[in-house]
Amino acid sequence: MSKLSYYTKEGLEKLKNELTELKTKGRSDMAKQIAEARDKGDLSENAEYDAAKEAQGLLEAKIAKLEEAMGNARVIDESKIDTSKVSVLSKVTIKNKKNGTKMDYTLVSEEEADLKINKISVKSPIGKGLLGKKVGEVAVINAPAGQIEFEVVAIGL
């Protein structure tokens, strides 16, 4: 059973670039490492060769994972996003009901989430709590420190 992942155009492009980089430069570098290790003598006692082969296996596993992600990737059409409620790609302003702090977040797929640039996953506790909410509604989020209430102040793109 495959699970679809939704990406922005930029997010999908980043994924494609990473996959291309691993398939070309990554595989080329790995082949050089294996060749260098092979040239160092008896393969049965060559730890460097074993490590290079293991690293090659990890690289191929990562490539396979990215290829699967690409196969299940769908680009979100921003023109079809309903801004009356919080959904994937919504830019939402929320206010902490307890201390009045306002925060802006963009809800994105798990793979594109980056808290440093205020992109949170729709699968995170805050993301899950906000999905489907409208302006003025309150989302109760279960956090490690207890329940936190956030009011949805604004929704946009």
- Decide if domain 78-156 falls under CATH 3.10.620.30: no
Block residue for tokens 């290790």: 37
The pLDDT value recorded for residue 2 is 54
Identity at 26, one-letter amino acid code: G
CB 136 within 8 A of CB 84: no
CB 78 within 8 A of CB 157: yes
The pLDDT value recorded for residue 76 is 75
CATH among 1.10.287.180, 3.30.565.10, 3.30.2040.10, 1.20.1090.10 for 5-75: 1.10.287.180
The pLDDT value recorded for residue 20 is 93
Q: Give span(s): CATH 3.10.50.30, the chain.
A: 78-156
- Residues with pLDDT less than 70, the chain: 1-2
Entry pTM: 0.64
What value, to the nearest 5°, has the Cα angle with vertex 20 and ends 14 and 21? 90
Task: Please state the separation of Cα 126 from the chain's center in Å.
Answer: 16
Task: Pick the closest to residue 74 from 129, 6, 19, 156 (CA basis).
Answer: 6
CB 89 within 8 A of CB 78: yes
The pLDDT value recorded for residue 1 is 42
* Phi, psi of 4, deg, nearest 5: -75, 145
Q: Give span(s): CATH 1.10.287.180, the chain.
A: 5-75
Q: Which residues in the chain belong to E strands, given as ranges?
A: 5-7, 73-75, 91-96, 102-108, 119-121, 138-143, 146-156
Report how far residue 20's alpha carbon sits from residue 34's, in angstroms, rounded to the nearest whole number.
21
